[in-house]
Structure 1
Amino acid sequence: MNYKHLFILFFSISIFNSFSQTNNEKVLFSVDNEPVYVSEFLRVYNKNLDLVQDESQKGVDEYLSLFTNYKLKLKEATVLKLQDKPSYIRELATYKSQLAKSYMTDAKVTDELVKEAYVRVSNEVKAAHILVKVAENASPKDTLEAYNSIVKLRNRAVKEGFETVRKEVHNGQTVYGEDLGYFGGFRMVYKFENAAFNTKVGDISQPFRTQFGYHIVNVQAKRASRGERTVAHIMVVEKPNDSLAEKPESRIQDIYKKLTQGEDFEALAKQFSDDGNSAPNGGKLAPFSSGQINSPEFEDTAFNLENIGDVSKPFKTAYGWHIMKLYGKKPVESFEFIKPELEQKVKRDERSKLIDNALYSSLKSKYKISKEQPALNYFASIVNDTYFKGGWELPKDFKGDKPLVKIGNKQFTYQDFGNYLVANQRNTLNKIDAKILVSNNYETFLNTNVVQYQEDSLEGENEDFANIVSEYRDGLLLFDLMENTIWNSAKTDSLQIENYYNQHKNKYTTPERIDAVVASSKNQKTLKKVAKLLKQGMALEQIKTLINSNDKIDVIFTKDTMERNHQALPKDFEFKKGISKIYSHNGAFVVVQVKDVLPETIQTLEEAKGLVISDYQTFKEEEWLKELANKYKIVINQEALNQVKAEIKKQ
């Protein structure tokens, strides 16, 4: 979902419910004499209350202020006729079409596909394949050649062994022979998934075609899904630009030794892990299942840990060195629990074609459209070879006003289908029989129009659909207005932004920092010794050699320029040069050598530009709203507002 759609989802809060609104409802307020009803405000208030994170805005008066500002913006958008922009009309039509799909589906076929999907996410297949590439729209000659090639390769694989042939024929251009490892449902295109799950272990599938070409699959093993794992890790990455940085393998081994000495995993992760996202949480990661982590080594390590609390030995991936701890093991959820998620996945991948075909049949039945179409013989008789060269035209004596098919209340004529044939001839470069050509085109023409007719009828038939479309319609208008009026200011208001920065530059500062070395140890006595050596000016490497040994790591040093919230520093640490006292921090003890205190400095405009632009846009929007309030008069019905407050108080 892009930024525009996120904005519309969370900030388009107006829903015009044509099914329930009547002229007899109480008006809460008006904008330039256009009424806004109590029922609308209550509906929107209750719907969006959870989205308003600022507690001060949850009161009725505060929320009414938000709502009136919203209505002011919508009024301005319509006055500017943003609703007439071709881009707006196109995007709204696209959204309506996409949304309609969730309201137009064959439930029986969908349920069957969802049940099949559950079986496949509950299991995994280990397979390899050979692919002979051929384009989807390849000529019959090239298609036949590719098919014959895959048949020959299958015959060879049966005789010589699949692996032998796979490795020999792979060239990475026209033929691919790949070991795919284990995968479950939704990890491959649907046709490939079908072949893999329907082929017995040890067998080679019959040739089948996907959009990539012709395949054969060798199924090597099947197993139940390994489910889901929750782990934490400590990661150490190489820092090539830091000549003083310790080698990651040495550092991870030092950390591992501290673990074997009984120190706390989470505390060490907070102190030393280079994964900035997980370190503050003790290294903990979001749960994942097979195929979700883009690192086989990381995934295999996670699934090979047996017991909750088990810790791995240090291991390397493409991202660095890791130590992992197992927090949770969860099998595949029950069918009822993950059914909604599976439904969404089914509707997004190739399986949707099966659902579409069922929908076409259902709608044709609903609108009583006959399977027979005698007119197709006439159209086949007027198509000639020029069609395949892109130069075909309807004959001069073509009678376009003759009725062809009726969908609901809409009559389609010969002209409609004739125009469709003319427009689509550029998509038919390979010559095929005229009857087949016309029949295929008519099927697509009919399917497209029967779905379109149902989509066009939905807003009047389905209240929920109508509400959502209306919400998006207004949100889209508001986005275009805000983009043109406020958000593009970074491109056009450079002088104003600079003036705003100069007037508020004290807001934009780099906080006070320290150039420091933090020594961390589980043993307080060890740190007393370290502090003494630091005061004597001994180099860090010498201290490490003196304190640590090959078998035991008592102290680890972190050297950095640190802000107050740095993970290695204790809370409320006092920034002053010298050797600090010993602190208890993250399950260990630390002592800090502050080499220099870097004072707070005002950032340049370039350094603070992102924040300055954001603040300037907020300021500009506030001034703009004042102008709109003067331009479009808002009249509040106090009696109705009191009614709203009383009703909300009862909830």
Structure 2
Amino acid sequence: MRYIFLLCFAMAHGLLAQCPDIATLIEIGEERVSQEDFVRLYTKNNIDGSADFSEKSLNEYLELYINYRLKVQEAYALEMDTISRILREFNGYRLQLAESYLTEERITDRLVEEAFERMPVQRDIEHVLIPWDREVDGRIDSAKAFNALSKVQRQLSHGYNLQRAAARSGADLTYRSLGYLGLFQTVYAFENAMYETPIGEIGEPVYTRFGIHLVKVNGERTFDGTSSYLQIALPESAENQQLLEQVIRDVTSNSSLFSSYAAQYSTSRNGKSSRNPIKIGAQANSAWQNEYVEKALSIDTIGDVSDIFSLGDTLYLIQWIGLDSFPELDQVRNGLVRKIQQGQRSRIQRDSLLHEARGLFGYSKHATIEAMLQYFTKDVLSGNADLSDERAAMTLFIIGHDTLTYGDLEDYMGHNYGGSEDAYRVYYLEEKFKAYEQKTIYEYYRDHLHEVNAEFAAQMQEYRDGMLLFELMNERVWREAVRDTSGLNAFFEENRASYVWPELITASHFIVEDSTFLRKLSKASNNSNKLSKLFAKGLKRGKLSSKSWRIWPGDTRLMNFDRLNELSIGPHALDNGMFLQIEEKEEDTWKSFDETRGFVISDYQDYLEKDWIYSLREATSIRVTSCFINLVKP
């Protein structure tokens, strides 16, 4: 195909001047390709490292790119993008991809790094919870809780510790010593206070859906990883005390004995010994009392044992047997991301996303809670009445080009309201409106992402083009090559010289059906003439059956070709018990169609594709700037 080259040079001082910047690098029919788009795809498709911007590499990719775009244009001309099956697949992929783009990566990265820093650390926590007092409508009456908070803070100012201050306040609250807590073990706001409050101090009040929290941090411990321990745990008695002391003496000289003792004295959990290792680490010790963990951590060297200690009515002896070092961030990143997206931290991402959407597309709110209360009466909310057409058409809010109405909110809420108090209707409408607003803005952002994110738009266009190309290739080339049997056979006949066995052996494999006849064959194994006669007789009398084989180099169905080729033409009894007759040895023999069907179909597909591309090129104007190489080189 000869291209029409766009002139983009000027003469200066009698020499060819440098190529200027131009908007269009390639014209393929009505399609215009910029330098930026071509280079982006050239580097993106650099699978084998050949995209080195050499003239050879660029010209080769130019040919592939033009062919690709011609075929995609043909698919659009045939309106393959309107096929319902393709539309369903495309829209499904679009939703999945948009969801991944709408995860705020900057916020996620910050939250992942924060979680990773907290993973090895646990903090010893005291805690006061002042629960919210709720009205009949479900809303919080904060006055009572804040009054209780002021009472506790007043006692703290008098020098009392948290426990005494809580007790002396006389308020409706709960005090608990929570012990050591770590990452993902509490709600996020509580966790932040837990890690951000200095050791020995009480942090600022924390507000959650449960109430007001006061958090005191008494201490901190950091794990190097997850340690494994064996234990012996026996009912507390003088006899068992002496037994454990003897175990310590024995394992001092041979630490491996401890596992035998642990197995010997193991029965069940809770006050009994353990055959299986116990895991203790920042993320693996929630089932064990703090005193137990402290004793385990006091062991300095792997193989050593703890002192004998008692918890409740049980004596314990622990041996440290191993340490799994703390993982690298890359090893735990995916797990942290999943937990972040499933927990309260995801709200930070969603709020940031909604704020961004309002700024990108434009947002205006036209409704107030007072107006909604006026129109959404109890009867409307419960389904006993409908909004009038006029009120249903009133604007609720606008996001981008979409106007959402009171009627849309009514459809979203349904008619499941069962409240009786007016105060609860206020709470109900506020919550429903907030949920509907967030859902609508998020979906608008998702559905219009291509308008504000060039990378997403390009990726979706490439995916659509790829789908259409696959569909068109399947119809015009791959299926056609199989359906067009007459064309396939004609192609095979015209190109038979391309399908040749360099070497071919024709052999018969005999299978013995009679044990008595097998003995006759074995006796004649060294006599070719006699063996040949027995083969013929056996076939005639039904003592043998045979199968004819055509064997070529690399074919191991019957046996290795090289070993088979060592046999002379005629009958053979092999050491492995096989009976063969080499019928013929040939060189440069044409393959039958069945022997090369797969190769013929593949070659015929290539032929059809090349012929098709040729016709597309002949019918399409293709123009490439004469400065092509200079413009795309970095």
TM range (shorter): 0.3 to 0.5
Larger radius of gyration between Structure 1 and Structure 2:
2
